[in-house]
Amino acid sequence: MADLKLPTPGDVRTAATLIRPYIRRTPVVEIAAEDFGLKGAPVTFKLEFMQYTGAFKARGGFANLLMREGTKAGVVAASGGNHGAAVAYAGMKLGIPAHIFVPSISSPAKIDKIKSYGADIHVGGATYADALEASRTFAAERGLVQIHAYDARETLLGQGSIAVEWAEQSPDLDTWIVAVGGGGLIGGMAAFAAGKPRIIGVEPVTAPTLTAALAAGKPVDVDVSGVAADSLGARLLGSLTLPLAQKYVDSVKLVTDAEIVAAQKRLWDVLRVVVEPGAATPMAALLSGKYVPATGERVGVLLCGANTTAVDFG
């Protein structure tokens, strides 16, 4: 992207205030570590899956439609599902036409949700990258505004509003553990936190987008697959996120598909909540021992989405 002026905590707070009338302030819950077979201080969960559209992306959707010029004529988005639902929902609420391109790997639950918000839906190939390319062509041909799922300043600012809320709700946390796909979520949260609390990123070993970018010193294409590919399957990290991650993300952990599914099941067993694989990824890092909190460390886990019909985890 041409504009690499990094978002500041003040920028994120301004966006959070702007979108506040349109989103839910999602709750937090503190659970004893022992309930999950862990040691140490209680774990605090932010239940962002209770957000409108069933995922955090509603925040970025509203931020884009409210902060960018030219959206009234219509917007276009490519998405594995959650971003598309967010843009469709924001468009419905604001009276803005939305065209959503999804890859064929998108879950039926996510596609049905997008349709329920009245958007025009298009299947744009087998992967998110295919859908993104098709959406760009469509937007250019019709002169419509393209709303990127993660590589846009407004997207980061909207997603970062989670951090504004969480810092108010749980000011004593030392660490936030956050899932990583294209990086809009962790980038926005990092921009607001600016190192406090520390942020740990977690991504599937089958979609190591941030890990690869940090190793290369620049965003690089990676092959993506696995159970969380429909939400964490971006092949290329966002250009704004990398410098934010280099400055403010403490470390990134990789978890396997089996560890992600085990975390889904454990969250159901203990909390009776059903989250999608991407949302269980941060918890997988704790349960697998990929991230071990220090003695007395207060950890928060972001459960960012629940757009799945899966209840039987095998």
Please give the domain boundaries of the chain with CATH numbers for all domains.
9-56+153-303 (3.40.50.1100), 57-146 (3.40.50.1100)
Contacts of 217 (CB under 8 A, 6+ apart): none
Which helix (H) or strand (E) segment holds residue 259: the answer is helix 257-271
Output the pLDDT for position 310: 63
More confident residue, 39 or 233: 39
What is the pLDDT, as a whole number, of residue 244?
A: 98
Beta-strand relationship, 299-303 and 120-123: unpaired
pLDDT at 3 > cutoff 70:
no
Q: pLDDT > 70: what percent of the chain?
A: 97
pLDDT at residue 302 tops 80: yes
- 11-36 pLDDT, tens digit per residue, is 999 999 999 999 999 999 999 999 99
**Stronger pLDDT, 313 or 309, i.e. the higher one:** 309
pLDDT digit string (tens) for 95-129?
Answer: 999 999 998 877 787 788 899 999 999 988 888 77
Residue 114 contacts by C-beta under 8 Å, 6 or more apart in sequence?
79, 81, 84, 85, 88, 100, 102, 121
Query: Any bridge partners for residue 121, and if so which?
Result: 100
pLDDT given at position 225: 93
Q: Is the pLDDT of residue 314 over 90?
A: no
Mean of the pLDDT values across residues 262-275? 96
The pLDDT value recorded for residue 110 is 78
Q: How high is the pLDDT of residue 49?
A: 97
Residues near 184 by Cβ (< 8 Å), separated by ≥ 6? 60, 149, 150, 151, 152, 155, 156, 159, 238, 241
Distance separating alpha carbons of residues 107 and 20, to the nearest angstrom: 29
- Residues pairing with 102 in the sheet: 123
Residue 46 has pLDDT above 70, yes or no: yes
**What pLDDT band is residue 311 in, cutting at 50, 70 and 90?**
low
pLDDT of residue 290: 98
Region of poorest pLDDT, from 84-88, 124-128, 179-183 = 124-128
- Reported residue count of the chain is 314
List 123's β-bridge partners, or say none.
102
pLDDT value of residue 1: 41
Mean of pLDDT values over 189-199: 97
Among 296, 195, 207, 191, which Cα is nearest to 250's?
A: 195
